[in-house]
Structure 1
Amino acid sequence: MQHLPAMIHDLALILGTAGLVTLLFKKLNQPIVLGYLVAGFLVGPKISIFPTVIGVASINLWAEIGVIFLLFALGLEFSFKKLLRVGGSASFTALFEVSLMILFGFTTGRLLGWSTMDSLFLGGILSISSTSIIIRTVEELGMKNMKFVGMVFGVLVIEDLVAVLLMVLLTTVALTRDFSGTEMLGAVLKLSFFLSIWFVAGIFLLPSFLKRTQKLLSEETVLVVAVGLCLMMVVFASNVGFSSALGAFITGSILAETIEGERIHHLIAPIKNLFSAVFFISVGMLIDPQVISIYWKEVLLLSAVVVVGKTLSVTLGSVLSGQTFKSSLQSGMSLAQIGEFSFIIATLGLSLKVISEKIYPIAVAVSVLTAFTTPYMARSAEKTYAWLEKILPARFIQSIDSYSVLSFSMSGNREWREQVRAYVLKVLLNAVVVVAVFLTMARVFLPFLLERQMEEGPAKFLTLSATLVMSAPFLWALAFGRTKQFEALLVEQGKGSHNYVFLVSRIMLAVGLLGAMVGQFVPLMWAVAITLWMVVVVGYVLSQKLQDIYGWFERRFLTNLNDDVKKVHARKNSRSLAPWDAHITEFLIPPEAPYVGVPLHQLSIREKYGVTVALIERGRRRITAPGRVECLMPHDHVFVIGTDEQLILFKGFIQSEVPEVALTEPEAEYSLEQYLLTEESPFLNKSIRECGLREITHGLVVGIEREGGRILNPDSSETLKRGDLLWIVGDREKILQLT
């Protein structure tokens, strides 16, 4: 009889057990991740009732591969565009919540008498919520079309990014044993620099490569290329001092921006599911019943810290960011658990041998407990709000909602914020590219020449010359590159003179950066002379040529970043009627629906459900502000505005006698905007119908704020008055032209 390797035996055991256990958990409507943990516990070395794995070391190797693919798939779902689309409210809430939970975890650990390092890792473990558990809970409870879910998903995106940053910082602290701010700042700056380089280089190279080879890419070759790129970046990240998980995450984020992003995500899903299952099973294998029996009080205490701490921190952060109290509480109670990244952070601490072994099983036990409570927390959020609304002073609730109105109105100038962000990002990225070119040439190309027995003088001259040539276009852009839209906004706001201040500041930055970089190759006096020579060449002699070269780089980069293929996935920028409960949601019309082909006026959708049909996408055709005679057709994407309660009713209508369909949000060009009626407004004292706003904006007036009151989905005969704040859903550019 042929002898099987121990690894095959172990895989058969753990995957067979996992299959049976997860089927049971699926039947019980529990998260599959918990099934993997239970399966690992049953076949692990801590329990002898069932057969036990033989080669724990080989399973740990597979688990490490699982982490890589888990982070790679997460990066494919993440994408840099998605980060930019996450609103400031979600970003602030996530950072506020993570900071507080790290503090709560660290303080709790110290109160329990744990070491400083144990307490620090405990803070990181308790700070990150479980994406898989939350998504599963939202889907099973039918909450995907509720307003607060957009905030929850936005917080999860930022939390995932913060978790990657936490892993880098905790690794730095663990290896240096230095808690000083200098080391932490250095680690953050190093990470930011490499993230910027990977982002620029990846967006510039990978999408173009995949476009040109698209005809050659079968499913097999796409998969091989994607996995190869992932593992190459894993090796590179490890060599420059970062974790392998970070390299996998970055590769996924960059590939998500390419023309093959969705295809890669689809192909990698089975591999990710297999290896991540092995990872979670390996986590379950480390659950020690004896440790839990000894530390059961700590498990209960930390579970309470997670549930109470996350609920409070997310709710408070969301309120401070301008959300209503109800939406904030729903978000807080939905995020009250820990999961995948908590295991990864705990694994990191164990692999670095800087934390106690007891922390791992305790963290897993806390994750299991909080995962079981998540559905009940999310389901009871509305009842909890209703109870709090009764016992809290009415003035307190009104004050929070008033703050929400104020904060939202203060952040209304979105175009100004976008242009400032684009201006700052352009300056920073050009500076990063210049630094990267100099560092690469100084630390890679120059040593390469010296190893080939070239004399130091000629080697430095050749390296510096090549470096100045390659960095010249980006130095020109850093110093003189124009951002016309930003400059026009400054002129519109009467701040045209600020353009010269910004220009002088950028020139000084470019000159200082150039001098510092050249100083790596030559003595100080030579560095000053070369810098002055470059200022003349870049700023005057070759200005037009460098502008053309940089323009080519920029156009190619922006083309890759804003590829039309990705617009389908860019529908994450809709705006809610904050602080109202109304928001935009998309529904897909099933082909067998009984209402297909029936005119909208016969369906009486607004009268029955209180919602407004704002847009219909039919293939490549877009029907804005559909009229009474328009019909819903099979596979239409219908964008609807209403409150959570109204949308739940409408969802029941959409799903009449058909299975549940996925919900997403509309693309950015068709969005909700504000318009304030002044004395000069041409629409003053006219009805909505008489104004012709439907024709002008290709949209609808879906809300009016008047003297502290709100009218949602107003009748077309409503007369507009001075001081009315109109909420219009339609073509964003056309609405902005009204002002």
Structure 2
Amino acid sequence: MDTMILDVGTALVLIAIGSIIANKLNFSIIPFLIILGMLVGPHAPKIGIIDLTFIESNDIIQFLGRIGVLFLLFYLGLEFSVGKLIKSGRNIIVGGSVYVAINFVLGLVYGWIVGMPWMETLIIAGLLSVSSSAIVAKVLVDLKRTANPETELILGIILFDDIFLAIFLTTMSGILLGGSTSAFGIITSVLISIGYMLLFFVIARKGAPILNKLFMIKSNLNFIIVIFALLFFVAGFSEKLHVAEAIGALLLGLVFSETIHRDRIEKLVVPFRDFFGAIFFFSFGLSIDPSTLTDAIWLALGAAIITIVGNISAGMISGRKAGLSHKMSSNIGLTIMARGEFSIIVANLGITAGLSPILTPFTALYVLILAILGPLLTKESKSVYKFLNMIFRWSDKPEKKKIEISG
């Protein structure tokens, strides 16, 4: 136990150093923490009593990282109004469909071009199609873009993307692991997931007055204990229903965004969001062994390039369909470009089913590239837009076209 505490303490010291360096350089903390995690881990040396392999403490660090994802998504949910999301329902469906379709088709084409077997191609198409909710949430918060007009559509696309992920994982699990292609079983699982999400929207819209009274707790200590207990329970229960635990946290955040307690919760959650969120990105880096990356470097680079093209295209189409300016539309594609935890989940399904071992280094390098480039490009979105505007000659003037509101 003493060794484990020392290991976790060492990890936190490294995270603190990385955070300070990133802040001094005015750079996104995400790539720093991922690379820092890669530099240590199982392949790192032991220095006296300091164990940089983190083998014994790996499970606890990974668990703390999972908590970080929950806080990131819960906070993101608090920043939005369910009412606005519902009013923008048509834009979300159109934008999400465009986003998933473009990336999935590009993934299928890419898998075929590089000569992958059919099942491996499906896995590649799936992992190319799902953005990292955790990284997107962190970027939006870090860059203070949660109130931007395009961010509602970004959140909607993330939710739509999770529905696609639920359908994809359910279908591929039946084919690869269960050997079953029962249409009834697949449809039932998907309907349960969608129904669960809709339940939270209904609670948010109709249950705010009741929640306002239930959570009228004077003591901050008791208040935060109750909120956190509910957060962890909902996240765990969501996973039992095959809805990602992170999305369960996001949905709970959306519910509380409609109550009078929203500002109070935000203020209390922020320190936990930042602390555990940093651990998540470090723990993700720990899972990557740099020595395995060389075998898939060109394969991953090619996939990253088509993802960048596909995301910018999908963002422009989705944004323009929603009545947003070219600049806001480009922000959409850049913000949701990062890949992370969900891509790894898709790849792990193929690896568990005994598909090509190249999937492991390919996914690790692909995710790392976009986990670094995604936040970078988002941070420099103004420069990226100017470059694109020189090529496509869009208007330099801000557009005054209003966002289309549909029920």
Give yes or no for TM over 0.5: yes
Q: 1:387 to 1:329 in 2, by over 3 A?
A: farther
Report deviation, 1:33. Answer: 1.2
Q: Which residue of 2 aligns with 1:71?
A: 73
The question of whether the paired residues in 2 share the 8 Å contact of 1:316 and 1:328 is answered with no
Q: Which residue of 1 aligns with 2:195?
A: 193
Residues 710-729 of structure 1 mapped to structure 2, 5 A cutoff: none
Residue identity over aligned pairs, in percent, reads 21
The question of whether the paired residues in 1 share the 8 Å contact of 2:204 and 2:258 is answered with no
2:361 is the counterpart of 1:364: no
Q: Which residue of 1 aligns with 2:232?
A: 231
Q: 1:231 to 1:294 in 2, by over 3 A?
A: same
Q: Which residue of 1 aligns with 2:15?
A: 18
Which has more radius of gyration? 1
- Corresponding residue to 1:32 among 25, 29, 33: 29
The question of whether the paired residues in 1 share the 8 Å contact of 2:173 and 2:349 is answered with no
Report deviation, 1:277. Answer: 1.9
Corresponding letter in the other structure for 2:162: V
Larger helix proportion, structure 1 or 2?
A: 2
Residues 512-523 of structure 1 mapped to structure 2, 5 A cutoff: none
Residues 92-241 of structure 1 mapped to structure 2, 5 A cutoff: 92-116=94-118, 118-127=120-129, 128=131, 130-132=135-137, 134-135=139-140, 150-151=149-150, 153-177=151-175, 185-201=187-203, 204-205=206-207, 207-212=209-214, 214=216, 216-241=217-242
The unaligned stretches of length 5 or more in structure 2 are none
Report deviation, 1:379. Answer: 1.0
Q: 1:203 to 1:232 in 2, by over 3 A?
A: farther
Report deviation, 1:285. Answer: 0.8
Report deviation, 1:376. Answer: 4.4
2:303 is the counterpart of 1:299: no
Q: Which residue of 2 aligns with 1:558?
A: none
2:55 is the counterpart of 1:54: yes
Q: 1:292 to 1:98 in 2, by over 3 A?
A: same
Q: Using the alignment, how far apart are the partners of 2:63 and 2:336 within structure 1?
A: 31
Residues 585-617 of structure 1, C-alpha deviation per residue, up to 9 Å, x if partnerless? xxxxxxxxxxxxxxxxxxxxxxxxxxxxxxxxx
Report deviation, 1:380. Answer: 3.4
Q: Which residue of 2 aligns with 1:388?
A: 392
Report deviation, 1:383. Answer: 4.0
Residues 490-528 of structure 1, C-alpha deviation per residue, up to 9 Å, x if partnerless? xxxxxxxxxxxxxxxxxxxxxxxxxxxxxxxxxxxxxxx
Q: Using the alignment, how far apart are the partners of 2:75 and 2:107 within structure 1?
A: 28
Report deviation, 1:297. Answer: 0.8
Q: Using the alignment, how far apart are the partners of 2:76 and 2:324 within structure 1?
A: 27
Report deviation, 1:66. Answer: 2.8
Report deviation, 1:4. Answer: 0.7
Q: Which residue of 1 aligns with 2:39?
A: 42
The question of whether the paired residues in 2 share the 8 Å contact of 1:307 and 1:336 is answered with no
Larger strand proportion, structure 1 or 2?
A: 1
Residues 582-601 of structure 1 mapped to structure 2, 5 A cutoff: none
- Corresponding residue to 1:379 among 377, 380, 383: 383
Q: Using the alignment, how far apart are the partners of 2:243 and 2:95 within structure 1?
A: 27
Q: Which residue of 1 aligns with 2:284?
A: 283
Q: Using the alignment, how far apart are the partners of 2:120 and 2:72 within structure 1?
A: 25
The question of whether the paired residues in 2 share the 8 Å contact of 1:102 and 1:126 is answered with yes
Q: Using the alignment, how far apart are the partners of 1:15 and 1:38 within structure 2?
A: 15
Q: Using the alignment, how far apart are the partners of 2:188 and 2:232 within structure 1?
A: 26
**TM-score normalized by the length of structure 1:** 0.47
Residues 289-438 of structure 1 mapped to structure 2, 5 A cutoff: 289-323=290-324, 326-327=326-327, 330-331=330-331, 334-335=334-335, 337-339=337-339, 342-347=340-345, 349-350=347-348, 353-354=352-353, 356-367=359-370, 368-376=372-380, 378-389=382-393, 421=407
Q: Using the alignment, how far apart are the partners of 1:225 and 1:328 within structure 2?
A: 38
Report deviation, 1:182. Answer: 5.9
Residues 28-81 of structure 1, C-alpha deviation per residue, up to 9 Å, x if partnerless? 222111122122112212344872213222322323333333333333234422
Residues 121-147 of structure 1, C-alpha deviation per residue, up to 9 Å, x if partnerless? 4434433265246537855xxx999xx
Matched residue SS, 1:295: helix
Matched residue SS, 1:338: coil
Matched residue SS, 1:358: helix
Q: 1:292 to 1:227 in 2, by over 3 A?
A: same
Q: Using the alignment, how far apart are the partners of 2:248 and 2:388 within structure 1?
A: 42
Q: 1:29 to 1:120 in 2, by over 3 A?
A: farther
Report deviation, 1:328. Answer: 6.5
Q: Using the alignment, how far apart are the partners of 1:41 and 1:19 within structure 2?
A: 16
The question of whether the paired residues in 2 share the 8 Å contact of 1:109 and 1:118 is answered with yes
2:264 is the counterpart of 1:263: yes
Q: Using the alignment, how far apart are the partners of 1:319 and 1:203 within structure 2?
A: 28
Q: Using the alignment, how far apart are the partners of 1:133 and 1:62 within structure 2?
A: 16
Residues 71-124 of structure 1, C-alpha deviation per residue, up to 9 Å, x if partnerless? 333332344224125475465334312321122123323433445554444434
Report deviation, 1:239. Answer: 3.7
Superposed CA RMSD = 3.6
Corresponding letter in the other structure for 1:362: L
Q: 1:235 to 1:24 in 2, by over 3 A?
A: closer
The unaligned stretches of length 5 or more in structure 1 are 390-396, 422-739
Residues 5-24 of structure 1, C-alpha deviation per residue, up to 9 Å, x if partnerless? 41x12211111101111211
Residues 700-715 of structure 1 mapped to structure 2, 5 A cutoff: none
Report deviation, 1:377. Answer: 5.2
Q: Using the alignment, how far apart are the partners of 1:95 and 1:257 within structure 2?
A: 27
Q: 1:317 to 1:163 in 2, by over 3 A?
A: closer
Residues 399-435 of structure 1, C-alpha deviation per residue, up to 9 Å, x if partnerless? xx9xx99xx79x98x6xx5xxx4xxxxxxxxxxxxxx
Corresponding letter in the other structure for 1:69: F
Corresponding letter in the other structure for 1:338: A
Q: Which residue of 2 aligns with 1:664?
A: none
The question of whether the paired residues in 1 share the 8 Å contact of 2:71 and 2:277 is answered with yes
The question of whether the paired residues in 2 share the 8 Å contact of 1:46 and 1:285 is answered with no
Matched residue SS, 1:46: coil
Q: Using the alignment, how far apart are the partners of 1:304 and 1:327 within structure 2?
A: 21
Corresponding letter in the other structure for 1:13: T
Residues 699-724 of structure 1, C-alpha deviation per residue, up to 9 Å, x if partnerless? xxxxxxxxxxxxxxxxxxxxxxxxxx
The question of whether the paired residues in 2 share the 8 Å contact of 1:101 and 1:123 is answered with yes
Corresponding letter in the other structure for 1:312: S
Q: 1:344 to 1:274 in 2, by over 3 A?
A: farther
